[in-house]
Amino acid sequence: MLKYIIKRILLGLLILFGTSVIIYFLVRNMPADYIDRNTAARVSQGLITQEQVEQMKHLYGIGDNSFWGILSNYFTWLGNLLKGDLGISFVYGKPVAEVIGRYMWISFGISFTALIFEIIISIPLGIYAATNQYGVADYTVTVLAMMGISLPSFFLGALLIRVFSLELGWFPMTGLRDATKILTGFPAFLDLLHHLVLPMVTLVVLSIGSLMRYTRTNMLEVLNSDYIRTARAKGLSEKTVIYKHAFRNTLIPLVTMLGGIIPSLFGGAMITESVFALEGIGYTAYNAVLQADVPFVMGYNMFLAVLTVLGILISDLLYAVVDPRVKVGG
Amino acid sequence: MDNINNTNNNLPDQFDDEQSLYDSVKIVSPGRLVLRRFFRSRLSIVGLAMLIFLFLFSFIGPLFSPYGEIELCPVAREVRMITQGQFTGADGKIYKYYDVSTSIVHDKAPPSSEHPLGTDVDKMDVLTRLMYGGRISLRISFTVIFLETLIGVLLGGIAGFFGKWVDTLIMRIVDVFYCLPGMPILLISSQIIKSISFIAAEDRIYWLMGILTLFGWAGTARLVRGQILSLREQEFMTAAEATGIKSSAKIFKHLLPNVMPQLIVSMTLGLGSIILYESTLSYLGLGVQYPLAAWGTMISSADPAKGTEVLNYYPNLWVAPGILIVAAVLGFNFVGDGLRDAFDPKMKR
């Protein structure tokens, strides 16, 4: 087991190395980087010379844009990374890790709450649909769930804002807090919740479908298995059969699915956060890409890649934990 | 698979006396069986109908539209502007006044018989632009999925068939691409494409298709490899091995046809997700470039960050493209699900 985990982690590091090379070359090829943009005015006024700008870029480790230049810069970046230093964000003027840490928790709070709602709603719906296979209820639930998957987040966000914010005035349009009032303590928290209702609804509606369909498929598979027939033959009530015998076994694939959720849990929802102007990590990263904040974009993408690798590893391990038939190794 | 039925048809002569029984059994080819199962599901028919409608709407529709994609149609309408002001009069009091002025504008015409969905911020006919937007979305999704499948089948097939170090090498590359974060990478790539001067604005979308393909093939390769690995161990492959046929024949005649069902399902479902990606990029202004029409771009006029005027008062500009995106993605999902059930031999319905 330990040997397997170590092997997988080493493999993960290899994958991350490849991923980081690709991301680094892409990021370095982004147009008009932050330094160019912010020094252009002063250069044209003659306050600083182009040489000084180049020197500044060199100091930040993004001076040379030739292939070999980027490659050597990459290894400098990698060396710093191994020392635990992700560099300093151009826009925020703080270490990248600190900026990610600061905005990550807002996104995490939103995604985590949305995930809880998602689980509460979609699993019972999936079971309900499976037990009424090909019935009216099954079709209704399936169609609604599929519509959720098919909705683009920006369109759903715009619809919700139009109806519940502009038309009915129930919820604020964008942002995280009411700028017209100074609130502290519990009222501030309530205000925050009030602002988060629409983004939360967006996230839940978009993600409910996949989990619901997943539950439905697994439930159908389990309901066709022999031990369910045995349970029924013993004369157990339908309720016991479904909730005690079948439901527990549908949890196995669900647990492994949780591993795949990890990146989106910590990495934020870029588009939804942008539509609602929430200062989460996704929105911050989106702006960082537009402003070519090289260290931050690099750090954020690597953060996501690490989460993805971890997510796959965790779901593989969880699979062995919850299902004793699965043997990890080899 | 068709071979099985052909051998059944040429029954040996000694069975002649049972011919009457044999005639009464109708032989159905697997392809027909799949089709029959597919059309038995109501959702797949609905999905298929939605897709057919969208195709007709996007590719035939513009022929009946009197307007062009980027044709300006100024429709004059009166707008009342109320201005408010105040001044301090000679007597020291503050006077407020309102001034209602009427001005004539030519954009954002309301729906009428000439323009069923009105005209947009740039005085172009919304309905016509919807049709051209559909063309772009459908064309992109089919091209990307075709290319993705081509690369995925090739690399996944090689990895699964040859195994050993070839497999290890290809699968590590697949892992690397699999771990790249999708949306941020697409954002960065489209920024790069935007900055390359020799790519004309209207050609950017083709480059973007390439990028979408480049970061999307890994999933297909994984699927194909997994399938081939499990098929390789089955008896019919041992039999094929024993006949001593070439590797290429084994791949193209025996392995690939058995991967097709899963491949077709994942391609159909993939079409929907490509449409979502494309419209998101267009929404962010990084996909299809103005003045060309795209559904995502049309919705972006309602972006709350750009003010609430269009969002609040002109739903005719952005609701329809949203509904069409949902219809397209939903259509592909319904058909994909229907195909999955139809291909599955365990489904007895």
Question: What is chain B's Cα-based Rg?
Answer: 29
Number of domains in chain A: 1
pLDDT over 70 at A217, yes or no: yes
From chain B, pick out residues whose CB is under 8 angstroms from the CB of A152.
Answer: 276, 279-280, 283, 296, 299, 322, 325-326
Q: Is pLDDT larger for residue A206 or for residue A257? A: A206
Q: Which B residues, 242 through 301, put their C-beta within 8 Å of a C-beta on chain A?
A: 272, 276, 279-280, 283-284, 296, 299-300
Q: Per-residue pLDDT averaged across A87-105, rounded?
A: 81
Which DSSP category does B255 fall into? Answer: I
Whether residue A174 and residue B192 make contact (CB cut-off 8 A), yes or no, is no
Closest-approach residue (CA) in chain B for A297: B184
Which DSSP category does B27 fall into? Answer: P
pLDDT over 50 at A202, yes or no: yes
From chain A, pick out residues whose CB is under 8 angstroms from the CB of B189.
Answer: 26
Are A175 and A198 spatial neighbours (Cβ–Cβ below 8 Å)?
Answer: no
From chain B, pick out residues whose CB is under 8 angstroms from the CB of A288.
Answer: none
CATH of the domain at B225: 1.10.3720.10
Best mutation site among B179, B188, B194, B335 for testing chain A: the one with the most A CBs within 10 Å? B179
What is residue B331's predicted lDDT score, i.e. its pLDDT? 92
Region at A93 (left for phi over 0; alpha for psi -120 to 50; beta for the rest): left
Could you tell me whether strands B77-88 and B94-105 are parallel, antiparallel, or unpaired per DSSP bridges? antiparallel
Write the single-letter amino acid at A225: S
**Angle in degrees, CA B278, B284, B289, rounded to 5:** 70
What is residue A61's predicted lDDT score, i.e. its pLDDT? 66
What is residue A329's predicted lDDT score, i.e. its pLDDT? 54
Q: Is pLDDT larger for residue B48 or for residue A38? A: B48
A45 domain residue, yes or no: no
Parts of chain B with a pLDDT under 70: 1-24, 345-349
H helix count then E strand count, chain B: 16, 2
Is residue A260 helix, strand or coil?
A: helix
Q: How far is B23 from chain A (nearest CA, A)?
A: 34
From chain B, pick out residues whose CB is under 8 angstroms from the CB of A271.
Answer: 183, 280, 283-284
Write the single-letter amino acid at A202: T
The pLDDT tens digits of the residues spanning B313-344 come to: 788 888 888 999 999 999 998 898 888 888 87
pLDDT over 70 at A183, yes or no: no
Q: What is the percent of chain A with per-residue pLDDT over 90, rounded to a whole number? A: 0
Q: Which B residues, 153 through 192, put their C-beta within 8 Å of a C-beta on chain A?
A: 172-173, 175-176, 178-181, 183-185, 187-189, 191-192
What is residue B7's predicted lDDT score, i.e. its pLDDT? 44
Among the partner-chain residues A22, A143, A285, the one whose CB lies closest to the CB of B180 is A22
DSSP class per residue in A105-166: HHHHHHHHHHHHHHHHHHHHHHHHHHHTTTSHHHHHHHHHHHHHHHS-HHHHHHHHIIIIII
Whether residue B185 and residue A26 make contact (CB cut-off 8 A), yes or no, is yes
What pTM was computed for the model? 0.82
- Residue A182: pLDDT band by 50, 70, 90 thresholds? low
Domain that holds residue B279: 47-70+111-343
A321 domain residue, yes or no: no
What is residue B6's predicted lDDT score, i.e. its pLDDT? 45
B169 domain residue, yes or no: yes
Q: Quote the strand ranges of chain A, DSSP E.
A: none
From chain B, pick out residues whose CB is under 8 angstroms from the CB of A149.
Answer: 329, 333
Are B140 and B294 spatial neighbours (Cβ–Cβ below 8 Å)?
Answer: no
ipTM: 0.81
Cα B187 from Cα B212, distance rounded (Å):
11
Chain-centroid distance of CA A277 in Å reads 17
Whether the upstream peptide bond of residue B291 has omega within 30° of 0, thus cis, is yes
**Angle in degrees, CA B232, B237, B239, rounded to 5:** 155
Domain that holds residue A259: 104-289
What is residue A2's predicted lDDT score, i.e. its pLDDT? 82
Which candidate, B333, B195, B183, B189, places its Cα nearest to that of B269? Answer: B333
DSSP class per residue in B34-55: HHHHHHHSHHHHHHHHHHHHHH
Are B130 and B293 spatial neighbours (Cβ–Cβ below 8 Å)?
Answer: yes
Q: Per-residue pLDDT averaged across A23-52, rounded?
A: 74
**Angle in degrees, CA A254, A256, A261, rounded to 5:** 90
For residue B310 the two structure tokens come to 């269009």
Q: Mean pLDDT of all residues in chain A?
A: 81
Closest-approach residue (CA) in chain B for A213: B337
What is residue B53's predicted lDDT score, i.e. its pLDDT? 92
Best mutation site among A154, A159, A174, A313 for testing chain B: the one with the most B CBs within 10 Å? A154
Chain-centroid distance of CA B166 in Å reads 32
Whether residue B188 and residue A26 make contact (CB cut-off 8 A), yes or no, is yes
B349 touches chain A (CB under 8 A): yes
Which residues does residue B85 pair with via DSSP β-bridges, in sequence order? B97
Q: Which residues contact A266 (CB under 8 A, 6 or more apart)?
A: A104, A107, A108, A111, A281, A303, A307
Are B6 and B29 spatial neighbours (Cβ–Cβ below 8 Å)?
Answer: no
Question: What is chain A's Cα-based Rg?
Answer: 25
Q: Which residues contact B44 (CB under 8 A, 6 or more apart)?
A: B38, B334, B335, B337, B338, B339, B342
pLDDT over 80 at A288, yes or no: yes
Whether residue B312 and residue A173 make contact (CB cut-off 8 A), yes or no, is no
Instruction: Establish, for the pair of chains A and B, how many residue pairs have beta carbons separated by less than 8 Å.
Output: 136
Which residues does residue B80 pair with via DSSP β-bridges, in sequence order? B102
Chain-centroid distance of CA B113 in Å reads 31
CATH of the domain at A215: 1.10.3720.10
pLDDT over 80 at A31, yes or no: no
Cα A169 from Cα A165, distance rounded (Å):
4
B170 domain residue, yes or no: yes
Which DSSP category does B26 fall into? Answer: P
